[in-house]
């Protein structure tokens, strides 16, 4: 990575203003955190800063309050959970840049940790308002971005603050860029990508970009139906984006011209209706009954995909192969997840649904890297510049 990190600067005696991604799932009724993975992912950066003599002021968003104060989206429960994990108090301001925030930060001692209120309570956050960015910058001596999950957003707390403070990456940000960067720049071959999810329109750019990087591309999920229909396969009532058929044909043609092995489902688990309790049936991919829909890949496809994954040295997986939140239609994804957990390849998992699946299975520790960035990881794999990364200081040549 050619960006400076917290290891490249002296933070002793300084206040580090750290953008984290604590946008965790919450139970709306009880305000209980359902999954604290993203909080835990930031602990190494927080620990490093404290161990090196810095005090830590944290910024995060939660949900989509659209510039308004929404009590259900306050960060106090998250600060309380972080305090448990760190075993130190973590006071949380009741505003973003107002009197409470100033009082909480002013009361900090060296090595202390505090949290500002949900930055998206401020209208200027998503507008990348320079005035809000300047107000936030007043809380720190250095700026640390450790929120890869929001690095694709040019917001006041993800990019704007960098105009007013020295800006470097946290350890999680560094890890995300390093692992995903290997896929797009210098991977150990053979490289296999598994791309799934519902709509091909959201990932067409990723597919096209990966064709220049990978040796084999395996496709599943609803987006496979569009690719299949583009090749004349009758997919019944499956989700198909008819407006993307030309793009789908272009992907197939480009894969052939580049010599990339593009694999599509050979059989499928289908149902008459889109419901968790629908009765599943396994059929050949050319035998989908009229009015039925593809909701998962079948066992033949799993075996074929595993055969293509077996020799891989690097694997990147983004998006499930079926409707993974429903057990009857998650079996293809589950089988591949377990196969990869035993693989010696460097396996990188991305995308919210895929991450949720492997986490629920207890397999996340088995992979080289499980990304915290959904949209950010997709845009990175698409070759786009992420504003939150671009805003950080460049590392000097040779470092």
> What positions carry a catalytic annotation?
38, 199, 352, 375
Rounded-to-integer distance, Cα 311 and Cα 191, Å: 9
Residue 81 CA: distances (Å) to CA of 37, 94, 119, 343: 11, 17, 18, 34
List, in order, residues 6 or more apart from 143 with CB less than 8 Å away: 16, 17, 18, 19, 137, 161, 162, 164, 165, 166, 167, 168
Rounded-to-integer distance, Cα 152 and Cα 143, Å: 17
DSSP state of 141: S
Give the helix/strand (H/E) hosting 217.
Answer: strand 216-219
Identify the three-state secondary structure at position 159: coil
Match 């990723």 to its residue by tokens.
206
CA 370, 8, 167, 108 torsion-angle sign: positive
Rounded-to-integer distance, Cα 231 and Cα 384, Å: 29
Of 355, 349, 358, 359, residue with least CA distance to 381? 349
Rounded-to-integer distance, Cα 255 and Cα 216, Å: 9
How far does the chain reach from its first CA to its final CA, in angstroms? 10
| Cis peptide bond upstream of 190, omega within 30 | yes
Match 């429903």 to its residue by tokens.
326
Rounded-to-integer distance, Cα 118 and Cα 236, Å: 45
Query: Following CA atoms 230, 236, 240, 242 in sequence, which dihedral angle do they give, to the nearest 10 degrees?
Result: 60
Of 17, 132, 22, residue with least CA distance to 67? 132
How would you class 208 by CB atoms within 10 Å of its CB: exposed for 0-12, middle for 13-18, buried for 19 or more?
middle
DSSP state of 188: P
Rounded-to-integer distance, Cα 366 and Cα 349, Å: 11
């Amino acid at each position: 990575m050619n960006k400076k990190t917290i290891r490249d600067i002296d933070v002793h005696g300084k206040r580090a203003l750290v953008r984290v991604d604590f946008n965790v799932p919450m139970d709306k009724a009880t305000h209980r955190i359902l999954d604290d993975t993203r909080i835990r992912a930031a602990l190494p950066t927080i620990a490093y800063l404290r161990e090196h003599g810095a005090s830590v002021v944290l910024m995060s968003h939660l949900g989509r309050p659209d510039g308004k104060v929404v009590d259900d989206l306050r960060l106090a429960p998250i600060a309380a959970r972080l305090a448990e994990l760190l075993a130190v108090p973590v006071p949380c301001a009741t505003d973003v840049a107002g009197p409470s925030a100033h009082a909480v930060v002013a009361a900090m001692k060296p090595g202390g940790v505090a949290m500002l209120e949900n930055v998206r309570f401020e209208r200027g956050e998503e507008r990348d308002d320079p005035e809000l960015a300047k107000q936030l910058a007043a809380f720190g001596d250095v700026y640390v971005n450790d929120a890869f999950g929001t690095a694709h957003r040019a917001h006041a707390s993800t990019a704007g603050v960098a105009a007013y403070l020295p800006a470097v990456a946290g350890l999680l940000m560094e890890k995300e860029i390093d692992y995903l960067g290997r896929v797009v720049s210098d991977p150990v071959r053979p490289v296999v990508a598994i791309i799934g999810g519902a709509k091909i329109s959201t990932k067409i750019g990723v597919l096209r970009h990966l064709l220049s990087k990978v040796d084999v591309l395996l496709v599943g999920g609803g987006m496979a139906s569009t690719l299949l229909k583009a090749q004349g396969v009758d997919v019944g009532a499956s989700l198909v984006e008819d407006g993307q058929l030309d793009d789908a044909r272009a992907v197939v043609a480009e894969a052939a011209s580049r010599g990339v092995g593009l694999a599509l489902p050979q059989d499928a688990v289908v149902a008459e209706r889109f419901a968790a309790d629908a009765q599943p049936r396994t059929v050949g991919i050319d035998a989908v009954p009229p009015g039925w829909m593809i909701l998962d890949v079948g066992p033949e496809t799993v075996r074929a995909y595993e055969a293509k994954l077996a020799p891989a040295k690097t694997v990147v997986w983004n998006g499930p192969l079926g409707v993974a939140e429903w057990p009857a239609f998650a079996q293809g994804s589950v089988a591949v997840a377990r196969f990869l957990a035993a693989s010696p390849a460097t396996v990188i998992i991305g995308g919210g649904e895929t991450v949720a699946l492997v986490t629920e299975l207890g397999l996340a520790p088995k992979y080289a890297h499980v990304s915290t960035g959904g949209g950010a990881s997709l845009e990175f794999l698409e070759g786009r510049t992420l504003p939150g990364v671009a805003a950080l200081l460049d590392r000097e040549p040779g470092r």
